[in-house]
Copies of this chain bind each other. A is one copy, B any other.
Amino acid sequence: MPVSVAEEKEKAKEKVLNAICNDVIEQIRPGAKEQAEVKALTELIIANLNSKAMEMGIDAHAISVGSTARNTWVSGEADIDIFIMFPEATSDQDLEAKGLALAKSVCDRYEERYASHPYIHAYFHFGDREYDVDLVPCFAVKDPSRLKSAVDRTPFHNEYVIRRLSGSGLEDEVRLLKRFLRCLGIYGSEQRRKGFSGYLCELLILKYRSFVSFLKHAAEWRYGERIDIEGHGKYRGDEPLIVIDPVDAKRNVAAAVSLYSFSRLIDAAREFLARPSHEFFQLKEPKPMSESEFRRIAKERGTAFVVVRFRAPEVVEDILFPQLSKAEVSVRKLIERNDFVVYRSGVTVDTDTDEAIMVFELLVWQLPAIKKHIGPPVTARRHAEKFKNKHSPPFIIEDGRYVVEVKRRYTDVVSLLKHELKHCSLGKHVSKAIEEGYEVSWIEETRFSTGIGLFFRDYFGYS
C-alpha cells in the first residue's frame, strides 16, 4: 500500500538522519581528557583571579560563563570565558582600571581588546594545547533590566542556560547545531558573519529539544519568525528572526541574524532533511581560487571586475565590516548613478596584507561619451529660461521637457572610481584609510592575492 511505503521511506530517512547525527556527535563532543583539561584550566584561572583580588584589595570575584561553563562547546573549539564581577556601585573608571589590572595579573601572554568596555584576551598553554581565554570585567547587577554595561547580561544568560540545559542531554544537540551553522558560514553574531550566536543556539535547542526537530521547524520559518520561550516578550522589531531573551523581555537575541543567514539556514535545513549527509558537518579548508581558474570563469561570464584596494583601517572587525558594507553600498550607488550596471559586489579583508578589498562585477562598465541632461518642463517658463541660458542648443523636447545632450564625464567605471570614490559616504575609518591612498583597477591589472582568491571562492559559490 502506498501509504505504508511512504511511511517506511520516512522511517528509513529518520534512521539515516539519526545515524549521521550520532556519528557527528561522537566526533565533536569533547572527550574526557579535553573536558578535564578545560575544567582544570578554568578553575585554576578563577582561583588565581580570586586570590589576586584579595591580595590587591579588589572587591570582585570571577565566574565561568559561555560554552565551556555550559558544556556546549565543540571539541577543539573551547574558548574559555571568565567574567570578573564587580559590585554594581563600582564606577566605570574603577571597573576598567581594576578589572584590567586584575586580569593581566594572572596572564603571561595577552592583548587588550575592546567591545563596549575593554577586556583581556589571553593565551594559556595548558595540557597539550593553547587555549584562548577572555577575561571580562562586568558589573554584578541585581536584575538584567538594570544593566550598566552590555556584558552584564551574560551572567544571567549563563545561569538561565545552566539551569535548563545542564545534564539534560541536550548539550550534544547544541554542538550539532553549532557545527552545522559553522559549516554554513553563519555561526557567530559578529558583524562579519551576522549569524547565530552560541547563546542563540542554546535557546533554539531548549525550544525545539533536538537538532533535527529544530531543522524541521526552521524549514518552515517565515520572515519575522518569533520565538518566545518564556512567553513574556515585549520586543517589537522587523528582523527576520526574533527570539525573545528569556532574561530580558525587551531584547531580541537574534537581532544580529541577517536576512542572508536566516535564509541560508532555512535552505540548508531543508536540504539536509531531504538529503542527509555527513558533508553538512565537514569543515572545508579555506582554499583560495587560483588566478587561472578565476580567469577561466571570468571569461565565460563576460563580465568585468573592478577592484578597489586600500590599507584596512586598524579597528576591530565589528567596526570595520559594517563600514566596509556601507562603503560597498555607497560605491554601488555611485556606479549606478553614473549609468553603469553592477551585477554583484562584495568586500573582504586580506589578513595577509592587511588590505581591505572591494570587488564590483559589472554588466556595463563602459558607456558612450554622451548622456541626456533632462531639464524642466517647457511650460515652467522661469526654469526653462534659466536652463536654456545655461546650456547650448539643440534643445530636444521629450515628454514636454527640455533635454540637452551633454558630455559624459566618466565613460568607464575605473576612471569614475579613481576620481569620485572619495566623495562617497564611506564611514569614518574607511574614509580616512581611503584618504591615505587607494588603488582602483580592472582585476586583470591588479595583483591576484590570496585574499582575492579566497573571496572569489566564496563569491562563486564554490565554498
Task: Give the B-binding residues of A (Cβ under 8 A).
Answer: 219-223, 240, 259-260, 262-264, 266-267, 270, 300-303, 339, 341, 343-344, 363-364, 367-372, 377-379, 381, 384-385, 393-402, 405, 411, 460-462
Contacts and interface: CB of A to CB of B under 8 A. Distances in A.
Among A259, A300, A378, A381, the one with the most B-chain Cβ atoms within 10 Å of its Cβ is A378
A369 B264 contact: no
A368 B262 CA distance: 31
23 contacts: A219-B381, A220-B381, A260-B400, A262-B400, A263-B397, A263-B400, A264-B378, A264-B397, A267-B378, A270-B384, A300-B369, A301-B369, A302-B368, A302-B411, A339-B363, A343-B370, A343-B372, A363-B368, A363-B371, A364-B367, A393-B461, A394-B462, A396-B461
Interface SS, A side: mixed
A384 B263 CA distance: 11
A263 B394 contact: no
Among A223, A303, A364, the one with the most B-chain Cβ atoms within 10 Å of its Cβ is A364
A288 B401 CA distance: 27
B395 A303 contact: no
Contacts of A461: 393-396
Contact of A397 (B223, B267, B398, B411): B267
A384 B266 CA distance: 11
A131 B343 CA distance: 63
A103 B108 CA distance: 116
A379 B302 contact: no
Nearest to A385: B270
Given A370-B302, A379-B223, A395 B364 contact: no
Contacts of A393: 461
